[in-house]
Amino acid sequence: MENKIYGIRKLIAISFGIDVFLLCVLFVLSFLVGGSSPERIVLAVFLIPSLYVSCELWSRRVVLDARGVRLEKFLRKKELGWHEITNVGALVLRSRTYLLLTTAKGFVSISNSYENFSHLIQDIAERVDEEKIEEEVRRQIDSPQVNSSELIKFWIAALVMLALIIIKLFF
C-alpha cells in the first residue's frame, strides 16, 4: 500500500499566513512609526502565538500507510496501528467535523480542516473493521461538511490589519 498524505487545506494555511504577515508588518511599524510600548506589547502577545500556530498549520499531516495512521504536528508525531483502533467516530459541531479514532490508550481527533477530508475518512474506514465504524462516519463519507467560516474570519482579520497599516502610515 502506498502512503497517502493529507495536509491542512492550503487556502486555510495561506489565509492565516497572510494574517501573520500583516501582524508582523504592524509590529515592525510600531517601532518605525512611533508606536507606544503598550501597542508593541499587545502586538507581540498576538504575534508570538500566531507564528507558532502558522508553523503548526503548515506542518500538520495525516499519513496513512500499511502499518496505520501517523499524525504529524509541529515538532511531534503520533502513530496508531490499524489493529490499535477500537472505534472510528465522528463529532459534528456546527460547521466543524471531527473524526475520532479511539484506542485503548485514548483517542485522537482529526478535523475537517484537512484537504480531501471525505477521502481521508473513506481511506481510514476501508482499513478498519466494519463493526468499529459508527454510522455518523458513513454519513460524513457521503456528504462531508466543509468549514468555510474560518476562511471568512481570516480574511476579515486581514482587512482589519490592512486598515490599521494604512492608518498608521498615512495618518
pLDDT in tens, 27-40: 999 999 988 999 99
Does the pLDDT at position 153 exceed 90?
yes
Percent of residues, the chain, with pLDDT higher than 70: 99
Structural domain boundaries enclosing 26:
4-170
Task: Write down the pLDDT at residue 95.
Answer: 82
Tell how far CA 112 is from the center of its chain.
Answer: 8
Indicate the pLDDT class of residue 148, thresholds 50, 70 and 90.
confident
Task: Write down the pLDDT at residue 38.
Answer: 97
Task: Write down the pLDDT at residue 1.
Answer: 64
Does the pLDDT at position 149 exceed 90?
no
* AA identity, residue 35: G
Look at the chain and report how many structural domains it folds into.
Answer: 1
Task: Write down the pLDDT at residue 26.
Answer: 97
Does the pLDDT at position 115 exceed 70?
yes
Percent of residues, the chain, with pLDDT higher than 90: 89
**Residue range 20-31: mean pLDDT, rounded:** 97
123-138 per-position pLDDT tens digit: 999 999 999 999 999 9
